[in-house]
Structure 1
Amino acid sequence: MSHKCRNGQSVSHNLPADFPDQTNLLDRADFHAFLSGCLRTEQTGSGLLLHRHTAKQIAYYQETNEGWAIRSRCPAGIQLNLCSDTRSLDLRGRILTGPRTYAGFDVEVDGRASTAIRLDTSEEAQNLRLVDCDTRATRQITVTFPQSAIVELDAIDVEKGSRTIPHERSRKRYLALGDSITQGMDARGPAAAYPVQLARDLGLEFLNLGVGGHIFDLDALDDELPYEPDIVTVAYGTNDWSRDTTRAQIASTVRRYLTRLTTTVARSARIYLLTPIWRANGGDIKAGGTLPQFSAAIGEAAAPLATVIDGSTLVPHVPGLFADGIHPNDEGFQHFASNLQPHFSPETV
C-alpha cells in the first residue's frame, strides 16, 4: 500500500515500536547517525554547523584563502537520512550566504523526488517544511543540504509521537575530491551535483570534499581523514590552468598528489582522475597551453597511478549546459553524471 505525500509518494517500512519519542532530532544522542557525508558537527553560539572537512582542513583553508574557507563550510553532499512515520519534517535555522546568494534543499521520499526548495540566503531565521504528508506511514526520507550556502541549524523537527530511526547506509564508500564543479556549482539543486547523482545511482555512501576555486594542493590533504573510501574521484585542473601553471609544473604536482593519496587516505581505494571538463575559454593560450593541452599533461602524469577519465567527454560542449561557460547547470550535471557512470564497473562498486 502506498501513502501520498505532497509532491511525492511513499511506501511502508517497519520500525521498532519502542524508540524514544523526541521531536527535535538535534537533541538526540544519535543525531550524527542520521547524517551521511558529514565528518563532524560544531555547536556555535548561533547554531549547529555540519562539517564535511576535518578541523585541520578548515584551519588550513582559513589561513590560506578566504574563498576556500567560505566554500569549505558549505554542507555540500551532506544528507539527512531517516526512516520515520512522521507526517512532517521541518528545518529551523539560518541559511547564510556562501559562494552564492541562493541555496536549495532537495528531498526524496522512498527514493523519489518529493520536494525541491529554492531560496535566497538570509541572516534571518527560517522555518522550512521539508516533508508534508497527509497520512502517517513509515517512509524513508533523504534531505540533501545546500552546496552553495552555509547552514546554521536550530532544529530538525519530526512530528511529536512519531517513530524515527536512521536508515541504513551503503557499505561501499565514495570520496569526491575536486573544485567548485565537484562541490556542485552552479546547480540550483544540491542533488544535481555529479557526486550526489553518482552515489545515488551506484548505491554508494559518499563524502564530498569539493571546494570552489581549489587546485591540486597537497597541503589540503589530511592524511588522518576519518573516512576510508573504496572509490575516489579526483577532479582538479581547471583552476590550475587559470593560474598559469605550466604543464611541467602540473605533471609534477599531479604525480606527488596521487602518490600521497595512494599511501594515505586512498590506500585501499580505486582512484579515478577526471581531467577538466570543457569550458568556453578553454582555447585560450596560457602558460600551460590551451586547456586541452593542459588536460593531456594531467592525464599522462596520472595514468600510472589512477584510472584516467577524459573530462572533455562528460558534458557536451554546449553553452546552454553551463551557467557561466565554466560551471554546469542542472541539465549539464545530468550529462556529467550519466556519462561518468559507465566508467565504474560492477566489480568496482
Structure 2
Amino acid sequence: MSLCDFMDDKDMSQLLISAPAEDLLHGALWTEDEGKGWVKPWRFTKGQLKALGSCRAWHPGLYRAMAACTAGVFLEFETDSSSIVVEVRVEPFPKGSRDVFDDLAGSSFAPEEPYDGLSCDVDGRHLACVLPEGEGEDGERVEFLLDDPDEAPEQGVQRLPGLGRKHHVRVWLPCLTSCSVKRVVGDGNSIVAVPQRRHLLVIGDSIAQGFVAGDPALTWPVLLADKLGLDVVNQGVGGQVFLPGSTVGLNEAANPAQVVVELGENYRYEPCQMMRVSRDVKTSLFEIAEAFPEAPVWVMTPMWHSDERHPTNPKSCFSQIPDLIRSCVAANPQLRLIEGERLLAPSPVLMADGYEHPNAQGSAAIAERCAYVMETLAESAETRRQRAIELLSDGPDEAFPILESARRGAGEVYVAEKGVCVLSLPGHETFVWGTDRAATRAALDAFASRELVCVLGDEMVRDVKANLGLRHDEPCHLVVYESKELIKIKSSLDIRVLTPAYSDLVLSNYSHPEYLRDGELESLLEHGLVLGGFEDGRLCAFIGEHSEGAIGMLEVFPEFRRRGWGLALEAAKIDQQLEAGLVPWGEVWPDNKASLALQKKLGMTVYPENSMHFLSRAK
C-alpha cells in the first residue's frame, strides 16, 4: 500500500505527519501565497521581475515566463519516514522550454524524457526525476521511497514506518517550468527543516537555468553550490543577455557568499551593435559588483558551442564578447575571470542538443572545473606566485622557466602544488610542469591554453597531448646562465639601449614577428629591454627578450654578420639581466646549431632538447 493510499484513507491518514512546504524551501527569495496552504516560490525579487518584463529587456515575454520557473529551488529536511509525498501543482511547460525540447529531436546526446520534473536526493542517493501529469486545485502527489532497498533487514522486507533511521532529504522542484507546493507528508514521527545556508548566486541564461540536464538536481549551478557547501539561488533566464537594472533589490533579498555570472552566449543569435552591448555589459557587471561588495564575483566568458546547427548571425557582435568581458573584469578588482571555454571539452557529446546546452555529463564537468577554478584562485595571485617560487627553488632543473618567470612577476601562476605548477603568459603559451598525473590533468583542464602549451620535461608530454588535443610537438633546449659573474666582453662595438623610436625598424627586421602580441614590442622598448648594435650610426643588430624573460629576438642584419655582433649583444644582454638580479636564460631549437654554439661559448648550460616541449594544434 503506497503512502498516497494511506492519505486517502481517513483513518490511516491520522497516523501520518506533515509539514508546510513553505517552511522547507531553499533557493527561493520569497513566496507568493495562493491560498489554502499553497505557495509559489520565486527566485527573483519583485523589482527584478519588473525589469525582466520591461521595454529595456530584449525579450520581455520570454524572460517573464522563464523567471517564473523554479530552477534551483528545493525542499530540504530530515525525517524518520520511510516514504514522503510532496503535494505540488506543476504548470505546463512555457513556450521557451518547449522550443528547446523540440530542438532535442535531432540530438543523439539528449537525456531521456521527462526532461524536467521533481527529483530527490536522500542520504546522498539520487532518486529519478518524476513529472506529475495531473491538474486541478488539489494538485498532484509525488511520492518518494526513502529507505534504501539494499539496507532492508531482509530481502523484500521494509522497516516499519517511523522505526527507521533518519534520512536527509532534498526534493528538487522543476527548473524549466513553474510550480506551487503545499505540504510534505510522511509516514514517520518527524519532518524537521534544515537551516538555510549562505548562497551561491548564479546570474545567467538558459545554460544556467538548466537547459537540458534532464533533472533539476543535475544542473551545474546545483552541483557547483553543493561542492562549495552553499545553497544555490539560480537566476538563470533562458534567452537572457546582460541587462542593466535587472539586479534591482537583489542585495536586500540575498546575501551570497559567491556570485557567478554566466551571460553572453545569446548575442550570437541576433544582430547587435557593439556600442550598446558594450555599455550593457559594463553597466551590468558594475551593478553586480556594487550590489555585493563583500562577495567575490566570478564572470565567465562564453562556453564552447558548435555553429553547425545554429550558425552565429553574421551581423552579431558575439565574436567581441569574450574580450569585452575580459576587459571589464580586468578593470574591476572585485571581478574575477573564469574562461568559459575551459569549463567544457569542445565536444557535442557533452551537449543535450549537440551544440550548446549541456546535458547531465556536461553540467557535471562544468561544476567540477568551475569549483576547481574558484577554489584555486581564491588565494591571491601573489600568494600563488610565492608558493611556486618556494616549491621550485630547489629544483627540478626542467621547471626553471616557471621559477624564473615567477621570480620576475611575468605572467600569472595559476596552480602551484607539490605535483604540478602552471604559469600562463597573456597572449602567449602556458608553461606546465608536473609529476602528479591527476593534479596536472585538473590544472590543464581549467587553465591551459588550447593553442600552445610548453611542457617542461618529458614526463607529462603524452598526457598533455591527449588531454588538450595538441598533436604537434617541437622539443627545445633550455639554456641557463648559472654563473653570477658578469661577462663584460671587451669590444669596441657600439651597443645601446633602444628607445620606442626604433619600433618600426626592429619589427621590420625581426624574423618572427608572429611571436609578439599587440603592444609587446613597444613595452619592451619602453622598459629598456632591447639592445641595439650600431655601425656608423646605423642600427645593424638587436637583441631583446620574450614576455617570460627568456633572452631572444637576436637578429644581425645580413650585411653585418660575422663581425661578432651576436656574441657581443647576447653578452651585453646577459650582463643587463645579471645587474638587475635576474638569472639569464633562453630557449633554442635543436636545429639552430649556430645559436647552440654561441650559448656554449658564452658559458650557458645547455639542457637536453627534451627539456622543453612546445605543443600546438598544427605547425
Shorter-chain TM-score category? 0.7 to 0.9
**Matching residue of 2:370:** 340
Instruction: Tell me the equivalent position of 1:114.
Output: 126
Give the distance between the partners of 1:338 and 1:246, measured in 2 at CA: 35
Find the aligned partners of 1:118 and 1:329 in 2 and give their Cα distance.
17
Unaligned runs of 5+ in 2: 1-14, 99-114, 148-157, 380-619
2:257 corresponds to which of 220, 224, 230 = 230
Counterpart of 2:85, as a letter, is D
Q: Distance in 2 between matches of 1:221 and 1:87?
A: 42
**Greater mean deviation of Cα atoms: 100-109 or 118-127:** 118-127
2:285 alignment counterpart? 258
Displacement after TM superposition at 1:187 (Å): 1.1
2:327, 2:313 → 1: CA distance? 20
Amino acid in the other structure paired with 2:25: L
Question: What percentage of residue pairs aligned between the two structures are identical?
Answer: 24
The answer to whether the 8 A contact 2:300-2:337 is kept is yes
In structure 2, do the counterparts of structure 1 residues 167 and 129 end up closer, same or farther at CA, with 3 Å as the change threshold? Answer: same
1:180 counterpart (199, 203, 206): 206
Give the letter aligned to residue 229 of structure 2.
G
Corresponding position of 2:360:
330
- 2:76 corresponds in structure 1 to 81
Indicate the SS of the match to 2:253.
coil
Q: Give me the whole-angstrom Cα distance separating, in 1, the residues matched to 2:28 and 2:128.
A: 21
Cα distance change on mapping 1:284 and 1:153 into 2, 3 Å: closer
For 1:284 and 1:74, locate their aligned partners in 2 and report how far apart those are by CA, in whole Å. Answer: 27
Q: 1:197 aligns with which of 211, 223, 233?
A: 223
Q: In the TM superposition, what is the alpha-carbon distance from 1:63 to its structure 2 partner? A: 4.7
- State which of 97, 101, 111 in structure 1 corresponds to 2:92: 97
Point out which structure has higher relative CO (alpha carbons under 8 A, 6+ apart).
1
Select the structure that is richer in helix: 2
How much has 1:210 moved relative to structure 2? Answer: 1.0
Q: Distance in 1 between matches of 2:125 and 2:118?
A: 11
Q: Deviations over 1:210-236 (max 9, x none)?
A: 111111011221235411112100111
User: Which residue type is aligned with residue 177 of structure 1?
Assistant: I
User: Is the CA contact (8 Å cut-off) linking 1:96 and 1:151 kept in structure 2?
Assistant: yes
Q: Secondary structure at the match of 2:280?
A: helix
How much has 1:120 moved relative to structure 2? Answer: 6.5
TM-score calculated relative to the size of structure 1 = 0.83
1:280 offset after TM fit, Å?
1.5
2:13 paired with 1:23:
no
Rounded Cα–Cα distance in structure 2 between residues aligned with 1:257 and 1:309: 17
User: Corresponding residue for 2:346?
Assistant: 317
Q: Secondary structure at the match of 2:131?
A: strand
Q: Deviations over 1:72-127 (max 9, x none)?
A: 111110111101111211112322223435522221112x1231123365535322
Distance of aligned partners of 1:22 and 1:247 in 2 relative to their CA distance in 1, 3 Å threshold: farther
How far apart are the structure 2 equivalents of 1:58 and 1:259? 20
Partner secondary structure for residue 82 of structure 1: strand
In the superposition, the TM-score normalised over structure 2's length comes to 0.48
* Number of residue-to-residue matches in the alignment: 320
The CA deviation at 1:49 is 0.8
In the other structure, the counterpart of 2:392 is: none
CA RMSD of aligned residues (A): 2.5
Question: Counterpart of 2:49?
Answer: 58
More strand by share: 1
Measured in 2, the distance between the counterparts of 1:115 and 1:196 equals 16
Q: Which amino acid aligns with 2:212?
A: D
Which range is displaced more, 317-326 or 274-283? Answer: 274-283
- Map 1:236-275 onto structure 2 (within 5 A): 236-264=263-291, 266-275=292-301
Residue 284 to residue 210, structure 1, CA distance change in 2 (3 Å): closer
| Segment of structure 1 superposing worse, 100-109 or 137-146 | 100-109
Task: Report the Cα distance in structure 2 between the residues aligned to 1:196 and 1:41, rounded to whole angstroms.
Answer: 20
Shift of 1:302: 2.7
SS in 2 for 1:81: strand
In 2, Cα distance between equivalents of 1:157 and 1:271 = 39
Report the CA distance between 1:199 and its aligned residue. Answer: 0.7
- Select 2:145's aligned residue among 131, 137, 152: 131
Q: Distance in 2 between matches of 1:333 and 1:114?
A: 16
SS at match of 1:186: coil
Identify which of 308, 318, 324 aligns with 1:297.
324
- Residues 118 and 188, structure 1, Cα contact 8 Å, conserved in 2: no
Aligned residue identity for 1:106 = S
> Quick one: structure 1 residues 319 and 94, their matched pair in 2 at CA, closer, same or farther if it must change by over 3 Å?
same
3-state SS in 2 of match to 1:148: coil
